[in-house]
Amino acid sequence: MHTPSSMVMGIVFAPLGLVLVFTAAITPQWREGQTRLGMTGSGSLLRLGVKGQGMGVKSGSVEALLLLRSDGLWESCLQVEHSELKQCWPVAGPYQRDPRVRLAQGLILTSLFLCSTGIVLACIGVRCWTDIPLRGVAATGGLLVVMAGLLSLTALGVYTHNLARLGMADPSQGINNPRFPQLSLRPAGSLYFGWLGACLQVLGGSALLFSFKRPRYPTCPSCPGLPVCPACRSCPEITNKSDTDVYEVSC
């Protein structure tokens, strides 16, 4: 049995989408912002950290440094541009408690679980080492992959739509604190990885779901209305042939 191209496309695209969504989930670049570092309390702390690393930055040059802030679903990072000074920490405060962030976390985790389960079922259902695939099992796997992609798209859509407002419910805390520089937030690289991975999940799952059409078997000469199964060769006119064709199973 030659594996249909749509089935191969689903088996390839679904794991690729899973890898991209997983990469987006564990990286802290869902949104990022930058601002010039001022001579505030936070700047003093940062100067101490820079000096602690032996960089020897003078107090007058601190104002020229660019502060970079990035947030993900489970981690946030702060970095000074053109330096090795970078610190990351688990998300906390208003950003962590924001219901939209919690919703995105739950949807992404559910999506990863469903996609992994769907890929396992699809691999079992394809059964490219036999003549007849388990179409029901493979189709179920494709359905789970499609659902995983839709959940990922929902999480990404909620996060992107509310990107600038996440964690801003309390202006006196978080990155809106007046003691810290004001940051203008924008989408970052992990968000684009997530969008691409979610689209690949939907595409791969759809290919798995709609590629399992029952093949047309040759009909028995003595019973034209009865299809002949290529696995059992139940028709005498076919099984008694001496020149039976042999087909190689290709995956």
pTM value surpassing 0.75: no
Encoded tokens for 15: 């794991």
User: pLDDT exceeding 90 applies to what percent of the chain?
Assistant: 34
Q: How far is Cα 97 from Cα 91, in angstroms, rounded to an integer?
A: 9
Pair 200, 223 in one domain: no
Pair 62, 155 in one domain: yes
Pair 227, 155 in one domain: no
Residue 73 phi, psi (nearest 5): -80, -30
Task: Name every residue whose Cβ is closer than 8 Å to that of residue 142 and which is 6 or more positions away in sequence.
Answer: 10, 118, 122, 204, 205, 206, 207, 208, 209, 210
Residues 72-122: tens digit of each pLDDT: 999 988 888 777 777 888 988 888 899 999 999 999 999 999 999 999 998
Residues 20-33: tens digit of each pLDDT: 999 999 999 999 88
Pair 67, 183 in one domain: yes
**Res 210 pLDDT > 90:** no
Average the pLDDT over 4-15 and give the result.
Answer: 85
What CATH number corresponds to the domain at position 29?
1.20.140.150
